[in-house]
Structure formats: C-alpha cells, structure tokens
Amino acid sequence: MTTKLGLIAGGGALPLEIANACRDADRPLFVIRLKGFADPYLNGFDGIDAGLAELGKGIKALKQAGCRAVCFAGMVRRPDFSTLIPDLRGLAALPGVILAARHGDDALLRFMVHEFEREGFIIEGAHEVGAGLALGGGPLGRIAPGEVHLPDMKRAMQVARAIGQLDIGQGAVVARGLVLAVEAQEGTDAMLSRCADLPIALRGTPEAPMGVLAKAPKPMQERRVDMPTIGVATVMAAAHAGLAGIVGETGALLVVDRRAVIQRADDLGLFVVGVPHEPEDRAPA
C-alpha cells in the first residue's frame, strides 16, 4: 500500500509541484500549509493551515490524517523568534530551535527533521517524491555549453562548493574567471539582480552573454529538506544578468516546472547543464 505523505509546504512553486506529483501518482496526500508562506493554490488539496511554531497542531493533524512520511518543501524565511506564538509542543521545542538556529540554517533544519523523526515519521526528500525533479547529467534543453564556457563553469562550481563549506550559501556567479557574486541570505534571484547592476565591462549582456551561475549543496546540508533549486524565474534572472548558462551538480539540483524551464532557457539561448560531483575541487586562491 502506498504510504500517505504529509507535505509541509512553504513558499514558492516546489510544494505545488510535489502536490501535483502525488496527485498524478494517485498517492494520498495531506498538506500542512505554513501561514504566510504557502501558495494559495495548495488550498485545493486536503490539509490545514498552521503557523511556524504550531508544531503540535501540525503533528497531530498529520497523525490523524494517517501520514507515515513527511516531505518538507518550499521557502521559509527565518522568523523573529520573539514574535512566534507557539502551541505546547512548539513551546517545548523552541529552546532547541533557537539554539540550533545560532549554528546556522542547516543546523536548524536538521533539528526540525529530528523532531519529526522522533514522532515516528519517515522523511522523504522532494527529489524522492517528485520523480524527475533532480537535474540529470548534460544539457537540460537544446542549448549546450561551449568550450569557452568550461573554465567559468568549473570555477563557479568550485566557489559555490567553497562557500557551502562555510555555510554561507549555495550559489556563485563567475564571468571570464572573475567571481561576480556569491549567494548568502538574500537568495539566488536577489544575487542575480545584483549581477545585472554591475558594469557591463565585468559581465555579459542578453545580446552577448557571458559567465555562469553555479548552484551546489552544502557539504553538511540535510538534502532531504534543503536541496538547491532553480525555476523559470532563475532562468529569466540569469539571462537578464547577461549570463550564458546555469550549472549544477547531477542529482543535487532541483528543477521546478522542468518543461517551462527548458522552453524558457531554449528561447533565451541559455544553457542549463548538470555536471558530476567532484569532491576534490577547491576554489583557487
């Protein structure tokens, strides 16, 4: 019998894609829509609305719905903990949450995963629930990188992995060997917006694209709940910043709305490509 999935849904298109994948596969689903984050379209699926600190409410609803597995998907901004209104279960977990948050977002996510595992839930990654979400090897669409792009691809991946080791972010932009930007708390789209504001002498243009965006998971990252992700907005922002393409690790980058991503990338002449994981890579000095 198919295991019923509890989807804990934050913002963005990924939770909706997971929900649709379950519906298409006839997999029973129950959605915890996080207040202030979840897309209104998720109201069409069986579930409840819950605040970030209403841990008890969410766990109780998942168990009553018969969920044995849980998937975390979507964006959630780090809250002001002083403004949260926890229920009793959330209140019990709050000291641990605050302590974990001091050690970074990844520590916080690992703590939350542990809380749900303590309650007996199996944690499934979005890439496990949604078949075909993860980037495969080689070009995603009809546009492939040329020899001229390979040095920037390699260096951008090195930089992305290096900042991941420091728990800074998942993305980096490199053009002609120069690091134009690294991603921190602002997110990928905001980083690409910064790149678009750089002098043209440093970057490409939509008419003469140059450079790449690389995204890589952090080494300590809990991949079941926080994989690097791109979507149509990422492709458009990369093209607006004058980049020639996007590169990610094979099997470790989620592509949301794959058909639309391929279509938009092809229309814009931008490549999206998966490369193997190379643990020996180090960012050059």
Which contacts of 56-60 are long-range, i.e. CB under 8 A and separated by 24 or more positions?
Answer: 56/87, 56/88, 56/89, 56/90, 57/87, 57/89, 58/8, 58/32, 59/89, 59/116, 59/119
Q: What is the reported pLDDT for 107?
A: 75
Q: Which residues of 134-152 are buried (b: 16+ CB within 10 A; e: fewer)?
A: bbeeebbbebebeeebeeb
3-state secondary structure 75-122: ECCCCCHHHCCCCHHHHHHHHHHHHHHCCCHHHHHHHHHHHHHHCCCE
Q: What is the reported pLDDT for 209?
A: 95
8 Å CB contact between 217 and 164: yes
Q: What is the reported pLDDT for 71?
A: 94
Spans of the chain below 50 pLDDT: 280-285
Residues 2, 4: Cα–Cα separation, whole Å: 6
Q: What is the reported pLDDT for 1?
A: 57
Q: What is the reported pLDDT for 282?
A: 47
CB proximity list for 158: less than 8 A, separation 6 or greater: 281, 282, 283, 284
* Six-digit token string for 157: 């991946």
Q: What is the reported pLDDT for 83?
A: 80
